[in-house]
Chains A and B, each alone.
Chain A
Amino acid sequence: DGGITQSPKYLFRKEGQNVTLSCEQNLNHDAMYWYRQDPGQGLRLIYYSQIVNDFQKGDIAEGYSVSREKKESFPLTVTSAQKNPTAFYLCASSLIQQGAGQPQHFGDGTRLSIL
């Protein structure tokens, strides 16, 4: 079955540590996204990518970094500069077709906590 796989499901970060969240899709989607979900705040866009080797900052990119070396993969690194990293992180992907209103497909998330 096609879909998006996020790993790990739970992750703990120590002070001063960078951690990387994995996101892999086999839907052959061009666009991929990272969102942060906090209770009562909905989803906030961290980074997005529409093509390999290119990505753009979203609304809350500070303290995060990404790469897009392969179409299938879009890992997110939460750096030590992100002072409040505790959240539920969601990866999504979609087709890019003008006028087609393609929905986003989501993985099952990674819950990051501070030790």
Chain B
Amino acid sequence: AQSVAQPEDQVNVAEGNPLTVKCTYSVSGNPYLFWYVQYPNRGLQFLLKYITGDNLVKGSYGFEAEFNKSQTSFHLKKPSALVSDSALYFCAVRDPFSGGYQKVTFGTGTKLQVIP
């Protein structure tokens, strides 16, 4: 069975500082990994994904994520945080070799608070 963990319920960072939101996963094979962002009372918006290739993936709004197979992690990063980055962030995993319907498993979310 596949799973994903976001160990921090909330991350606080000062505006202009680098930010990291952590994610670890468990799948039987090579994973597909995703990051989404959710603003209050809105749906999730896709930020970036890792399928294969370069371990550093770049996405929307200046975000990037680093895939680390040995540590089974896929941490979200941004070099300089903005107040407008404050939101709820979800990591998600899919096992492409599960056959048939490829279920996506979402983490419980990490609330990012960027302090002015």
Contact = CB atoms under 8 A, between A and B. Distances in A.
- Bound together: yes
Interface of A: 4, 6, 40-43, 45, 48, 50, 56, 90, 92, 98-101, 103-109, 111
B46 A104 contact: yes
A69 to B, nearest CB: 20
Interface in B2-57: 9, 32, 34, 36, 41-46, 49, 51
Interface of B: 9, 32, 34, 36, 41-46, 49, 51, 90, 94, 96, 101, 103-104, 106-109
Contact of A40 (B34, B44, B94, B108): B108
Given A40-B108, A108-B41, A109-B41, A103 B46 contact: yes
Contact of A42 (B32, B51, B106): B106
A65 B32 CA distance: 29
A107 B46 contact: no
Given A42-B109, A45-B103, A48-B101, A103 B43 contact: no
A104 B104 contact: yes
16 contacts: A40-B9, A40-B108, A41-B108, A42-B107, A42-B108, A42-B109, A43-B44, A56-B101, A92-B44, A100-B51, A103-B34, A103-B46, A104-B104, A106-B43, A106-B45, A108-B42
A101 B32 contact: yes
B43 A109 contact: yes
Which of A48, A50, A90, A104 gathers the greatest number of chain B CB atoms within 10 Å?
A: A104
A56 B108 CA distance: 23
Nearest to A104: B104
A42 B90 contact: yes
B4 to A, nearest CB: 9
